[in-house]
Amino acid sequence: MNAETELKFRISPHKLSSILRSGAAGQRRDKSEQTLVSTYYDTNRHKLRRHGLTLRVRKIEDRYVQTVKAGSAGGVWRGEWEHEVSGANPDLAKTSHTPLRRLATGKLPRKLKPVFQTDIRRMAQARRVRKSQIELAVDRGRISAGRRSRPVAELELELKSGHVADLFRLARHLERRTGAELDLRSKAERGYQLVANSGGGAQHAEAIELIPEQSPHEAFRVIAHSTLRHITANADPVRDLDAEGVHQMRVGLRRLRAAISLFGDILPRASTARIKAELKWLTDELAPAREIDVFLKESIQPITRHGVPARGARAIRERFSRQRMAAFKRARDAVAAARYRRLLIDTIEWIEAGRPRVDDDRSIAAYAAEVLDRRIRKARKQGKRLNFLDPVQRHKLRIKIKKIRYATDFFSSLYGDRGQRELAALSGRLKQIQSALGSLNDFMTHRKLATEAALAAPPAHRRAQAFTSGVIVGQEREAADGLMKDAAKELHRLRRLRAVPSG
């Protein structure tokens, strides 16, 4: 087995050619050029992909090389098993020492078929960074699946020998020079998205698979990579001013920040604090877009059905439509900024190279059970005082509930059938509490927005807009009592899990 340690970047096509000329004197090496035509194989139901594997046969001049790849989603390390084969079709006899062997039953060869193909022109060059040897590869070409295809223009850095810190040192240098942006999608993933005719709009979170015997730190890395992929997968929708894309990137950020909190007792303090500060910066840049979008859709647009003067409704709608556009452009600018690109590199290096603060001999199964039990007990205790909490305290309780809900998603694969049913019931209850408390929190934001709109309205519309704002606030205040009762009822029903994780 070979272990690939690599980073992939998307980059403007017109800047690709300059990459291999960017080395300092004495650092550059002769370039090599290859045409790589790769066919990826899987079953109709994508069984290999569901098990975290890819199988391809690549034609390199007059040779065929079969490759099996496996590795944590989004990580810089992947296992790779290569064998030369006699032709364009896979030879499963040569997968006996790979993770594919457990799936290679008698029926698999008949079920495998070509799923998509990549046709890439690769220029590569060796680069020495301190005592490390790194290969830079510039790829241009296309991914094709049937009649659909997408262009490829990317940069790949692969650590051939030396230290992973030098890989990130070179990555930062190239980001500063060219604006290269870390892309956590492999060509295989992009090919599967093409097959599904997806990938152009907002992307939701992927399922997380943990192994009960993993250490807490190993499990955190799997979770953190998955959440970072959720964030980066929505960069293009945010650039396209897509409301759901902004929402999904914020969800990805909240999931990563929740994971940091859940594993806070084992993560290194100094580097984690720096990453948390940068994640909060990006969250804050996206927040106004989401808040104003929700206010416009849920409070302002329906107001015309409640007998509000048309002039007031129109004035407040136009005001917040302008604010919404400005907020979405602010989100777009944040994702276009160098600070965002640096955040991605810093975060993945922190995930990969960070060491746990303490040695912990617990398995993730034991760790997860303790985390869930402790947090459920605390939330239930605080929930008994819900009616006495001020808005800030309610908001903090909502965040605690949200973290428990994310934890049930993160740890779900550790439980058997009975445990998963119990987790699903718990997650449903947490969702209802989160929704009720979230609406109450939204009401506070809406009240502030409506009040500011009324006070800042031009004289010609001030009275009508003030009346409209008052109607919005009044309706939400009326709804708040019911939401408080719903949240209190579900908090009272919270119970500690009876099931325990497997392993």
Could you tell me which residue, 315 or 476, shows the higher pLDDT?
Answer: 315
pLDDT average, residue stretch 359-380: 90
Residues 237/248, Cβ–Cβ less than 8 Å: yes
CB atoms within 10 A of CB 493: 14
The yes-or-no verdict on residue 117 having pLDDT over 50 is yes
The yes-or-no verdict on residue 475 having pLDDT over 60 is no
Residues linked to residue 35 through DSSP beta bridges, in sequence order:
121
What pTM, to 2 d.p., does this model score?
0.85
Measure the CA–CA gap between 343 and 324, rounded to whole angstroms.
Answer: 25
pLDDT of residue 115: 96
Measure the CA–CA gap between 470 and 491, rounded to whole angstroms.
Answer: 31
Measure the CA–CA gap between 417 and 126, rounded to whole angstroms.
Answer: 50
List of residues 6+ apart from 65 with CB closer than 8 A: 57, 58, 82, 83, 84, 85
pLDDT average, residue stretch 121-131: 92
Residue type, 369: A
When mean pLDDT is compared over 50-59, 250-259, 482-491, the highest value belongs to 250-259
pLDDT of residue 20: 72
Report the C-alpha dihedral over residues 85, 86, 91, 93, rounded to 10 degrees. Answer: -80
pLDDT of residue 7: 93
Task: State percent of the chain over pLDDT 70.
Answer: 85
197 pLDDT band (50/70/90 cuts)?
A: confident
Q: DSSP letter string over 423-439?
A: HHHHHHHHHHHHHHHHH
Strand 53-60 with 32-42, pairing: antiparallel
Task: State percent of the chain over pLDDT 90.
Answer: 54
Pick from 27-41, 268-282, 390-404: least confident: 27-41
Q: Angle, nearest 10°, between helix axes 243-262 and 310-336?
A: 60
Measure the CA–CA gap between 73 and 208, rounded to whole angstroms.
Answer: 9
Write the secondary structure of 62-100 as one string of H (helix), E (strand) and C (coil). Answer: CEEEEEEEECCCCCCEEEEEEEEECCCCCCHHHHCCCHH
Report all structural domains of the chain as residue ranges with CATH numbers, in order of start: 2-199 (2.40.320.10), 243-492 (1.40.20.10)
The 10s digit of each residue's pLDDT in 441-468 is: 766 666 666 666 655 555 555 555 555 5
Tokens 């600070």 found at = 339
The 10s digit of each residue's pLDDT in 48-66 is: 998 889 999 999 888 999 9
Closest among 493, 494, 491 to 383, alpha carbons compared:
491
pLDDT of residue 473: 52
- Angle at CA 441, nearest 5°, toward 435 and 442? 85
pLDDT average, residue stretch 168-172: 95
Number of H helices, E strands in the chain: 15, 9
Could you tell me which residue, 24 or 23, shows the higher pLDDT?
Answer: 23
pLDDT of residue 470: 56
26 pLDDT band (50/70/90 cuts)?
A: very low
The yes-or-no verdict on residue 471 having pLDDT over 60 is no
pLDDT of residue 478: 55
The SS3 call for residue 239 is helix
The 10s digit of each residue's pLDDT in 300-326 is: 777 655 566 676 677 778 888 999 999
Residues 89/60, Cβ–Cβ less than 8 Å: no
Measure the CA–CA gap between 62 and 69, rounded to whole angstroms.
Answer: 22
25 pLDDT band (50/70/90 cuts)?
A: very low
